[in-house]
Structure formats: C-alpha cells, structure tokens
Chains A and B, each alone.
Chain A
C-alpha cells in the first residue's frame, strides 16, 4: 500500500515536472518515409541557355520532383502536425532560401506562419522569385546579382510551388506551417517530431509529386511512437 503511494507521488512529481518543462519532457513521433514501386527517372536539366550556371556543373543536374535515397527512402517530404497542437508564434530567426547554380537550396523549405523568409541570389544572373500560393498573396520579384536579400512573410498555412520564370527548370516548394513541429526527410527518409505534450495528433506527410498522407497518433508521457509513411511511386 505504502509503496503504491510512493509510486503515485513519484508519478505526480513526474507529471508536474513534465508540465513545468513542457518542452524537453514530451513524447516523440518518429519514423521513416519510403516509396513502393518504381519512381520516375529524373531527367537531366539542360542549362545551356544559362552558361553562367551550366559551367558550375561537370555533369548535368537532375530534376528534383522525386528524390530517392538508400533503402527505398523518399527525400523532400515535409512531415508536420496538421491537428492536435496549438498554433505557435513565429520564431525570430529567418528561414533562408538560396538561389545558387540556378538551383534552389533547399528544394523544399518549411517555415512558420509570419516567420521571416529571406531569399538570396548567389548567382551571376538575374532570377525572378515567383511563389504561386492560392491562399496567400501572390507576388513576383526580380533579383539581379549582387542585390540584397528579399525579405517576405506569409500569413496563412499553405504548401505551394515557387519558380523562376527566366529559368524554367528552377522549381521548389514553400511549406508555410502553423507550428514548429515539422521535419523534412533527407537520405534515409527518417523524421522525428520531438517535445510533444501528451495528446492526440494528426501527422501529415506531404510530397510534391505523390501527394499527402495522414495518420493519427496518441502520445502519453514521454514515449516515442513510431509511424511510417509509404508513398506509391508512379513510374511517369
């Protein structure tokens, strides 16, 4: 009986500390994003119309609409919490998007609603940055070489393409998200969303060619739940 009490007090203390430091003591959702089937072969990009960029590469660059890694992993998937967590204020640091070698770095940039977005041009050519949102404001700005970074913000959650009209192969994605719990998969396809207070969450994985999938997960305490996403690859 007494031992039970001690355990309960201990649990209560643990819970209290979890509330006090809601961040570090939370649960984690982690997993892997893979594909099933045969993905399309990415075509080499012909940059011959932009010699200043073409000369930066020994071999032609490949398109990035589907990027795969080892073990059937799928890269450039943004995994985020679409329901179950409150909206968060934007962090003070800026999300940086760079144009280099007539490519977008990163190809997929995730940042928060009202977070500063900084866009740099490190090329010796003019680019125009033309994001194509439907819910947010659509703007289109020229950025010649050597001009200061463009600073912008988006005030609604939305995932949308961004392109350069001058260099039609330049194509990327902005994911404007409502909270800081998101991850973008790289080689290996793994993701981890940490510091989640106990609760029920909807986890969504979004890929520019294969669409989006969602799974519900319930977190209690500081456990780590594993969920995996498998996208059906299309060979075209």
Chain B
C-alpha cells in the first residue's frame, strides 16, 4: 500500500515538475548583469557570463530573478534567501560592514548553510562555483564602488590547555555570549526569543550542543573567524575590536567544550578534569534524542 502511494506520488511529481520548469523558462527575464565580473579563487578565475547560466538554473528559485532574495520559493523559506543586491553577507573573512572575499563566497557555496534551506553545492565543479561567485557580484553596485578589504588575520592556534578552556569560559561570561547563546550554549539565553535578523524575521542563536558545524564552517579557525567578523545581517556582532587574538583562541577552545555531543580534542581534555567531567556528563544527551537516556 505504502509503495503504491509512493509510486503515485513520484508519478505526480514527475508530471508536475516539467510544467513548473516550463513555466519558469517562459518568464525568465533577460539577465541584468550590470557589467562583466570576474572572481579569483586561488588559480581559478570565474566569469559572470558562465555564472548567469548556472544561476538561472540552480539559484533563482529562491534568490530571485534580480538576486534580491524574492524567488518563488522564498515565502516558504526560513531564514529568507540572501538578498545579493544589499551586498551584506554572513560568512566573511573581512571586517563587519565590508564585502567578503571571492573565496568566502566560494567556500559558502561549497559548504551550504547548516540549519537552513541553502544546500551545499559541492556537487558542482570548482569552475562552476567560481563562475557563480562572479555572477553574484553583478547584483550589487558595491562590488564596483568599494575596494577589496584585507581579511582579519588569524594567528596560529596556541596550544590547547585546561587553562585556555577555563579562560575561554570566563570570556564567555564577560563578553556576555550567554545573553543569546545561553549558559550551556543551547541557544536559549534571555535575549534569544527576541532576536530578529535585518529583515525583521525571527532568528535563532546558534545552539552549540546541536552539532559541531556552525553556519560558516566547522574548524577552529572558522569559529575564530565567526566571532571576530560577526555575521552581518544577523544579531551576531563583530568582536574584532574588543577581543585580543590570544583571548579569542581561548574562547574557541571553550566553545568546543559546549559541543558535548561531538568528540573533539578540547572536549576530551576538558573531561580529564573533575570539573569538566561533571559539567559535560550533566549536559550530554546519550543514546536518544528524546532525552530518555539521561540519568536523573
């Protein structure tokens, strides 16, 4: 019975899809690229003309014909698709309020956005992604008007120690990260329920216990970069002017210990201390997502 239902659903989808595609093709606008744009990622060079072909195949359903985030799927997508006309991007290696590097956009395309409708486009070739980055840059005049900015430097990661984790924990309190992210990093701080993004849409702070991937990457350097650059267009501010690099690394080490359900060197080291072991075992959810495996 189930199988029949599934098959009929597949047939229905197969019938509907071509009509949607056909409809899209008929009202496809003439591409608006203001000018030719290039992207440079390593030794790859992307071209906006090639990117336009890909954009009107893969991207415009959500991001819209004019790149302003109002594609036909957009009303059903939370958070809303990125508006490329504004030129404001979450994942950057550059200071807050500036344009990202080509490589930032390229990496975002390959990674996708965890917890959102934006998938990873790693299935496209590297050249395809570079071309798409070049095309995205035709939507906003900022790419012509503004000079590229140097990325925020990320110094080499210092040695992981229990002291660095503890100091990171103190900074988590002092910088009041918990106001949004919660004392246990579950994204349930006192301000969490009031947060909105720059489009006035509700937005959740990152829940560190949910995974070891955040929106802008999963390495320690990515974590470092996220709170130094801030995520523009969201409530997450930049701390670049107020946190010293060595302090920032300590904070990274501490944040890893909040990811209690994902093994990491930081979590392992933290659990070798009696204090850390007690905290982690109290927080860790084992065996089941419903929490029935949690001992009282």
Q: Give the shortest distance, in Å, between B170 (CB) and chain A (any CB).
A: 13
State the CA gap A142–B191 with chains docked (Å).
Answer: 15
Within 8 A of A (CB), among B80-96: 86, 88, 95-96
Task: Name which residue of chain A comes closest to B227, CB basis.
Answer: A142
Interface membership of B242, Cβ < 8 A? yes
A144 B175 Cβ-Cβ under 8 A: yes
Tell me if B191 and A168 are in contact (CB < 8 A): yes
User: Please, how many angstroms separate the alpha-carbon atoms of A150 and B237 in the complex?
Assistant: 13
Inter-subunit contact B190/A49 (CB<8 Å): yes
Pair B190/A144 contact, Cβ less than 8 Å:
no
- CB-CB under 8 A from B179, the residues of chain A are 126, 166
CA distance A167 to B232 in the complex (A): 18
Contact of B238 among A49, A126, A139, A167 (CB under 8 A): A139
Residue of A nearest to B177 (CB): A126
Q: Does A130 contact B (CB under 8 A)?
A: yes
CB pair A143 B88 closer than 8 Å: no
Q: Is A209 an interface residue (CB 8 A)?
A: no
The minimal Cβ–Cβ distance linking A51 to chain B, given in whole angstroms, is 11
Q: Does B236 contact A (CB under 8 A)?
A: yes
Closest to B180 in A: A166
What separation, in Å, do the CA atoms of A53 and B98 have in the docked complex? 32
A169 nearest CB neighbor, chain B only: B194
- The answer to whether A140 has its CB under 8 Å from any CB of chain B is yes
For residue B174, CB closer than 8 A to chain A, the reply is: yes
- Residue of B with least CB distance to A134: B86
B70 to chain A, nearest CB (A): 15
- Number of B interface residues in the complex (CB < 8 A): 28
Within 8 A of A (CB), among B14-35: none
Asked if A138 contacts B86 (CB within 8 A), the reply is: yes
Secondary structure class of chain B's binding surface, majority of residues: loop
* CB under 8 Å from chain B, chain A span 112-166: 125-126, 128-130, 132, 134, 137-144, 147, 150, 165-166
CB distance from A151 to the nearest CB of B (A): 10
**Main secondary structure on chain A at its contact with chain B?**
loop
CA separation between A150 and B190, bound complex, in Å?
26
Q: Assuming the A-B contacts A138-B86, A139-B238, are A144 and B195 also in contact, with contact meaning beta carbons closer than 8 angstroms in the complex? A: no
- How far, in Å, is A145 (CB) from chain B's closest CB? 9
Interface residues of A in 156-189 (CB under 8 A from B): 165-168
Nearest B residue to A136 via CB reads B97
Tell me if B191 and A49 are in contact (CB < 8 A). Answer: yes
Residues of A within 8 A of B264 (CB): none
**In the docked arrangement, what's the CA distance between A196 and B98, Å?**
38
In the bound complex, do residue A126 and residue B176 qualify as a contact, i.e. CB atoms below 8 Å apart?
yes
Q: A126-B176, A126-B179, A144-B175 are in contact. Are A138 and B198 (CB under 8 A)?
A: yes
**In the complex the two chains form, what is the Cα distance from A128 to B237 in whole Å?**
6
Q: Is B239 an interface residue (CB 8 A)?
A: yes
Q: Is the CB of A126 within 8 A of B175?
A: yes
**Contact, CB under 8 Å: A125 / B230:** no
Q: How far, in angstroms, from A166 to B236 measured CA to CA in the complex?
A: 10
User: Is there a chain A Cβ closer than 8 Å to B276's Cβ?
Assistant: no
Tell me which residues across on chain B come within 8 A of A141, comparing CB atoms: 96, 230, 237-238, 241
Name B residues whose Cβ lies closer than 8 Å to a Cβ of A: 86, 88, 95-98, 174-176, 179-180, 190-191, 194-196, 198, 230, 232-239, 241-242
Point out residues on A near B: beta carbons under 8 Å. Answer: 49, 125-126, 128-130, 132, 134, 137-144, 147, 150, 165-168
The 8 closest A-B pairs by CB, nearest first: A139-B97, A165-B235, A128-B237, A168-B194, A142-B237, A137-B97, A139-B96, A126-B176
